Amino acid sequence: MTSQNPSPAPVTSFQSGPLHGVVTVPGDKSISHRALILGGLAAGETRISGLLEGEDVLCTAEAMRALGVDITRSDDGIWHVFGKGVGALSEPDKVLNMGNSGTAARLLMGLVANCPFTTFFQGDASLHSRPMGRISLPLGEMGANVTSRSEGRFPLAVSGRELMPIDYELPVASAQVKSAIMLAALDTPGISRITEPRPSRDHTENMLRHFGAEVTVTVQEDESRVIELAGQQELTAADIIVPGDPSSSAFLAVAAAITEGSDVTLNNIGLNPLRDGLFECLKEMGADIDVTNLRQEAGEKVGDIRIRSAPLTGIEVPPERAPSMIDEYPVLFVAAAFAKGKTVMRGIRELRVKESDRLSTMAEGLKACGVSLQEEEDGLIIEGDGSAPTGGATVATKLDHRIAMAFLTLGLGTEKPVTVDDGNVMETSFPGFVSLMKELGSDIRDGDSA
């Protein structure tokens, strides 16, 4: 893990022939973060297989070490986390550097809110621009003190203390906010209740149960969900196999769908029902997708996905699907650019506060590549004619890994090459993305297209 961003390294994607192969993508980023954090709170040794070893997750590992958790990696790729128990973390002797990871930042803010010391946080330029007030507010209501820049932005300090349980209604569905509150509530003397207006990814609930905690989830008539967690429960170490990341898999799935003659199988992919929105959209657009070998691992649904190329048709994506695929919208925009007809995507204002303003950044880049679209405050409408967009642009990634991978995926099918200004950013979530794509038969090269 580097402490500062290396010099930008342009990468260019050229129109490719059919993609073929059977591959395993890196481990799920969301589950990897939580495995390290909850493993650090569980009494005993937790062994983690398939952990994503991208920069974001390595920031979490380093932060947990700074909080006194013994974490090692053996030569066979297994990570060993020797948990200290709930309420037993140590005061770090340095500032915790979250790099580019909003997930690490928000979850760890909740984790230390109940600790009797002050923890200082920083990150890269992108993370420093992202609002953290949505975390600071509920933590403050529980009794923690968060000192930050305006809008709760980094760098900041969390002064922990013994917290009180909370009954909190999320203004918008957010797994990160929900998880931060749950982590803070783990050592409170009472029951905390969190109401989310729409279901968001539930990896924290699933993993808490895997470690032996009691978590109750009640679905209301209006489809909102109430999560109840009793504090001061003990967690017991339990081994975890991290499935392949569906968000990373999305780029390969779309690449296979839009590249004529392709046939790609993705093994061991997490298919949590609250994470599979992208695959549902692709099926509705006409993509040829089969799921086999379904199974359960550590409370998560897992399976193998086969994708073959097929003509795509525009659809209207239900706004309520957004929480299940918020990180996959950039590559869904790519699929829409190759589809025939309008693809309407609304209810995705959350994209404006990701690593970049993903709505505007994607819209700007797609327009430069000849895609017809209309940007709205909370959505995007893309209209294609079923043929390949022109391409030929150099796109600014703005330190956003998903922007980079989305446009490299686009370039596999455009008439002219597509260049991203910095391929280094992909290491935060998908180390080896370019190498894996090349194994499947894509034409992606270092440097610009000149």
pLDDT tens column, 306-364: 999 999 999 999 998 998 899 999 999 999 999 999 999 999 998 998 877 999 999 99
Is residue 2 a part of any domain in this protein? no
- Round to whole Å and give the CA distance between 52 and 429: 8
Question: Does residue 391 contact residue 366 with C-beta atoms inside 8 Å?
Answer: no
Is residue 398 a part of any domain in this protein? yes
Instruction: Find the mean pLDDT for residues 276-300.
Output: 94
Rg over CA atoms, the chain = 21
Instruction: Find the mean pLDDT for residues 33-41.
Output: 98
**Same domain? 217 vs 328:** no
**Same domain? 336 vs 272:** yes
Which of 212, 240, 268 lies at the terminal end of a domain, its last residue? 240
**Same domain? 387 vs 277:** yes
Instruction: Find the mean pLDDT for residues 369-391.
Output: 96
pLDDT at 321: 92
256 pLDDT exceeds 70? yes
Is residue 391 a part of any domain in this protein? yes
- Round to whole Å and give the CA distance between 158 and 148: 9
Q: How confident is the model at residue 152 (pLDDT cuts 50, 70, 90)?
A: confident
Active-site choice (202, 276, 304, 327): 327
**Same domain? 250 vs 349:** yes
**Same domain? 112 vs 180:** yes
- CATH classification at residue 262: 3.65.10.10
**Same domain? 259 vs 230:** no
- Round to whole Å and give the CA distance between 448 and 92: 43
pLDDT at 428: 85
91 pLDDT exceeds 50? yes
- The DSSP code for 154 is S
Q: Structure pTM?
A: 0.87
Is residue 1 a part of any domain in this protein? no
Cα distances (Å, whole numbers) of residue 37 to 213, 274, 276, 382? 14, 21, 24, 39
State the Cα angle at 196 between 129 and 96, rounded to 5°: 35
**Same domain? 265 vs 200:** no
**Same domain? 17 vs 97:** no
**Same domain? 414 vs 302:** yes
Length of the chain: 450
**Same domain? 232 vs 249:** no
Instruction: Find the mean pLDDT for residues 106-113.
Output: 98
Is residue 180 a part of any domain in this protein? yes
**What is the separation, in whole angstroms, between the first and last Cα of the chain?**
31
Structural domains in the chain (count): 2
* Token representation of residue 155: 């760098």
Range of the domain at 42: 29-240
pLDDT at 1: 43
Q: How confident is the model at residue 2 (pLDDT cuts 50, 70, 90)?
A: very low
- Round to whole Å and give the CA distance between 88 and 69: 10
**Same domain? 218 vs 97:** yes
Instruction: Find the mean pLDDT for residues 67-81.
Output: 97
Active site residue 327: yes
Q: What is the overall mean pLDDT for the chain? A: 94
* Token representation of residue 150: 């305006």
Percentage of the chain exceeding pLDDT 70 = 98
